[in-house]
Amino acid sequence: MKKLNWGTKLGIMASIYVIGVLIFVGFSTTQKINLVSKDYYPTGVKHQDKINKIKNAQQLETPVSIEQVGDHIEITFPADMKSGVKGDIIVYRPADYDLDLKYKLALNDSGVHILNTSNLLKGRYTIKLDWVFNDIPYYKEEAIYLSK
């Protein structure tokens, strides 16, 4: 058996390294990259507006409550907000933004929006409420864990 000199060994090791890097780069380009949301950068510009909405929601005498009850989530608004509330509910899934859902806020006579969770996968979600009442914008979000 012929003995390899140090230059040949170095060439073999460098070739193995380059092949490994190329395989890693090829594999990493096929992976899906989830940002916080699809429009992450444009929404970052509106951050101060969101901070103001959060402050408005924190100043409510009776806060909006988000509770998981069986196979649905109840979003309960204060008594003075039973009508005239307009806004959106975003069911945000941090693990995969393709599973995010958006609903229009529709309160019943008791000031409650019932959100059915039977079609959602188990796991962590963030319920994001963005609403307007008497021309004042509000925002609240709360993390929940569905464990069907």
Check residues 118 and 32 and name the one with the higher pLDDT: 118
Give per-residue pLDDT as tens, 62-101.
999 999 888 889 999 998 888 889 999 999 988 877 888 8
Strand 86-92 to strand 65-69: parallel, antiparallel, or no bridges (unpaired)?
unpaired
Annotation: CATH topology of 63-146: Immunoglobulin-like (2.60.40)
Domain boundaries, given as residue ranges, for the chain: 1-31, 63-146
Check residues 54 and 98 and name the one with the higher pLDDT: 54
Task: To the nearest 10°, report the CA torsion of 118, 119, 124, 129.
Answer: -90
Predicted structure pTM score: 0.70
| Residue 100 DSSP code | -
| Residue 19 DSSP code | H
